Amino acid sequence: MTRKSNHCTVAAGMFASLLAAAFVLSGPGSAEAYNWVGATNTATCSQLNMADNASHNIYQGGLRVDTVAALTWARTNVVDPTNVNTNAVSTSTSTTDVIAVNNYYTNECGHNWASGVFGAVSCHSVTASGRCQQHYMRINLTYMDSEGTSTERAVLAHEMGHTLGLAHRSETYANMYPYWPQATAYWDSHDVGHINTNY
């Protein structure tokens, strides 16, 4: 999830849950070292799960043209340089890895989208090995309407990271930092290391 709000204006409960998730997932050591969720065997709106393999097919048939452009940029410049290879597919099935959708969301998956949620990822179904068979990646057009290309690219790269198992980081310089504006649309060597170690 990427949020427009800063720490002070995010609802206390929501921020607490984000922190809890980060630290539960992180284990001992610094938060930076452990933003990897692994295979969680979970398909809910509230928990991430790594993808089932390194061939990452993305259905983007319902996306607005600017969202497609930002997603294409993120795939080409951020994801494809790693061990994961993305493909945009024109039809979707129950095993398509990512269903990318955009809308003017209000309460999808229990999020208060109007409070500044730019995008969110959830695992829709799992494989026998507990990895995610299919993620949904939701992008909030309310904020895409008011933001420029650089923000859209940063948000799409961030959400794509979630579809592969990256969790949030506490470092403000990281793309997986959950609050807007992100300092970069690129993953750094730390995030790429998680990806390349696991795919």
CB of 2 to Zn ion, least distance (A): 5
- Residue carrying structure tokens 């600017």: 66
Name the token pair of 47.
């928990």
CB of 106 to Zn ion, least distance (A): 19
* Cβ proximity to Zn ion, 1 vs 195, nearer residue: 1
Residues of span 1-30 touching Zn ion by CB under 5 A: 1
H helices of the chain, in order, are 12-26, 65-74, 141-144, 149-164, 189-198
Instruction: Give the CA distances from residue 137 to residues 1, 11, 121, 175, in Å, rounded to whole numbers and listed in that order.
Output: 10, 23, 5, 17
CB of 91 to Zn ion, least distance (A): 28
CB of 178 to Zn ion, least distance (A): 5
Q: Is 50 helix (H, G, I), strand (E, B) or coil?
A: coil
* Cβ proximity to Zn ion, 92 vs 182, nearer residue: 182
Q: 53: Cβ–Cβ under 8 A, 6 or more apart, which residues? A: 131, 199
Query: Is 1 within 8 Å of 111 (Cβ atoms)?
Result: yes
CB of 158 to Zn ion, least distance (A): 6
- Point out the residue whose Cβ comes nearest to Zn ion: 1
Write out the E strands in 20-179.
55-59, 85-89, 98-103, 117-126, 132-140
CB of 168 to Zn ion, least distance (A): 5
Q: How many residues belong to the site for Zn ion (CB under 5 A)?
A: 2
* Cβ proximity to Zn ion, 31 vs 89, nearer residue: 31
Burial of 3 (0-12, 13-18, 19+ CB in 10 A): buried
Contacts with Zn ion, 149-178, as mask; x by CB under 5 A: -----------------------------x
Alpha-carbon torsion, ordered 89, 118, 80, 65, to 10 deg: 50
* Residue ranges that bind Zn ion, judged by CB under 5 A: 1, 178
